[in-house]
Amino acid sequence: MAEKIINRLVSIKSIVTLVLTGVFAYLSIKGVITGEQFLTIFTVIISFYFGTQHQKQTVEINTNGGQNG
C-alpha cells in the first residue's frame, strides 16, 4: 500500500517537473524571463527531481539490502 502511494508521488513529481520546465521555457522564449533566470530555475527544478529519484533509489537499496542481509 505504501509503495503504491510512493510510486504515485514519484509520478506526480515527474509530471510537475516536466510541466514546470515547459512553462519556464515558454516564458524564456517569450522574453518574460531572461535566459539566466531560466537556467537558474531549471537547475533548481532538475536538481530537486534527480535528488528525490536518487533518494528513493538509496532507500530501496538499503531496504532490500537489510532484508536480504
Is residue 48 situated within a structural domain?
yes
At residue 69, the pLDDT reads: 44
Is residue 69 situated within a structural domain?
no
Please state the domain count of the chain: 1
Is residue 17 situated within a structural domain?
yes
Number of helical H runs and strand E runs in the chain:
2, 0
Walk along the chain (69 residues) and give the pLDDT tens digit of each residue.
667 766 766 677 778 888 888 898 899 899 999 988 888 888 888 888 778 777 777 777 777 765 544
Total-model pTM? 0.54
Closest CA to 28 of 68, 44, 20, 3: 20
Is residue 2 situated within a structural domain?
no
Is residue 23 situated within a structural domain?
yes
Could you list the residue range(s) of the whole structural domain that residue 42 is in? Answer: 8-64
Is residue 16 situated within a structural domain?
yes
* The three three-digit cell numbers of residue 38, written as one number: 531560466
Is residue 41 situated within a structural domain?
yes
